[in-house]
């Protein structure tokens, strides 16, 4: 009986003591995890307070939006002035193409935009035909995208000139065609990109800001797509080959 009692006591001790140790370890681990979670939450809250306290760290920045709009205004102004100086006759051809039918230019622009990705794939396939061409694939893609961006900018400037001429109308008393185109260009550019400046200024106002931004985006998309299509359509018809310089 004494041996049996000792055996039972040994079994109970072997079972209860490890269980107690495991329970203590579990409690300690839980306490450690809770302390870590609390520390992380405290750090997140502290970072949030610091972010809101430091000026200029908020996700939304009206000043940045206005700066970007003004930057685009200056960029389009410089490029447009250069095109008017060296390619006013080409711009006039694109304008006449749009005047012949806005719908045709818009449709052509939509088709041209859908062909950008297949065109990039075609460039990759053509360059991959040779070993040297494989090495030139990145440069080929960059050149292709720059060409697309150049066509889009050319078309948008033509749209701005046409819009400015329509709005200026009888108020334009310039003695030379170049002067008339220059005034029309600055008028149209101020209208289109002025919308983005207004949208940037109102971007912090709920509901009104997104509505103005959506309107500006829609108008700019239609204008840029129409100009893009007019350039493609003029090139497809061979109008650029028969252009005459503006006197």
CA–CA dist 138, 120 (Å, integer):
11
Using alpha carbons only, what angle is made at residue 194 by residues 188 and 79, rounded to the nearest 5 degrees?
55
- Rounded CA gap, 181 and 184, in Å? 5
pLDDT of residue 245: 57
Which residues are CB-contacts of 79 (< 8 A; sequence separation ≥ 6)? 153, 157
> Which residues have C-beta within 8 Å of that of residue 205, sequence separation ≥ 6?
none
pLDDT at site 240: 83
The mean pLDDT of 179-197, rounded to a whole number, is 89
Sign (positive or negative) of CA dihedral 139, 140, 141, 142: positive
Specify the 3-state DSSP secondary structure of 57.
coil
Taking only the tens place, the pLDDT of each residue in 112-160 is 999 999 999 999 999 998 888 888 999 999 999 999 999 999 999 999 9
Query: Mean pLDDT throughout 30-56?
Result: 40
| Residue carrying the six token digits 């794939």 | 121
């Amino acid at each position: 009986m004494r041996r049996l009692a000792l055996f039972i006591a040994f079994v109970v001790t072997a079972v209860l003591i490890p269980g107690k140790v495991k329970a203590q370890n579990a409690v300690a681990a839980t306490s450690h995890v809770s302390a870590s979670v609390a520390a992380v939450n405290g750090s997140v809250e502290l970072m949030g307070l610091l972010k809101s306290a430091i000026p200029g760290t908020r996700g939304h920045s009206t000043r940045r939006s206005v700066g970007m709009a003004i930057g685009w205004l200056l960029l389009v102004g410089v490029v447009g002035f250069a095109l008017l100086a060296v390619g006013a006759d080409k711009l006039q051809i694109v304008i006449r193409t749009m005047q012949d039918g806005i719908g045709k230019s818009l449709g052509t622009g939509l088709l041209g935009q859908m062909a950008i990705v297949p065109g990039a794939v075609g460039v990759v396939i053509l360059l991959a035909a040779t070993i040297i061409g494989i090495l030139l694939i990145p440069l080929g893609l960059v050149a292709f995208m720059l060409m697309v961006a150049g066509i889009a900018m050319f078309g948008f400037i033509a749209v701005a000139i046409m819009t400015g001429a329509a709005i200026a109308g009888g108020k334009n008393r310039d003695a030379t065609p170049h002067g008339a185109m220059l005034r029309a260009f600055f008028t149209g550019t101020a209208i289109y990109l002025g919308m983005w400046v207004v949208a940037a200024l109102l971007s912090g106002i709920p509901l009104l800001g997104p509505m103005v931004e959506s309107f500006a985006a829609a108008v700019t998309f239609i204008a840029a797509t129409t100009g893009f299509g007019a350039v493609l359509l003029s090139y497809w018809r061979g109008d650029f080959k028969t252009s005459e310089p503006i006197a």
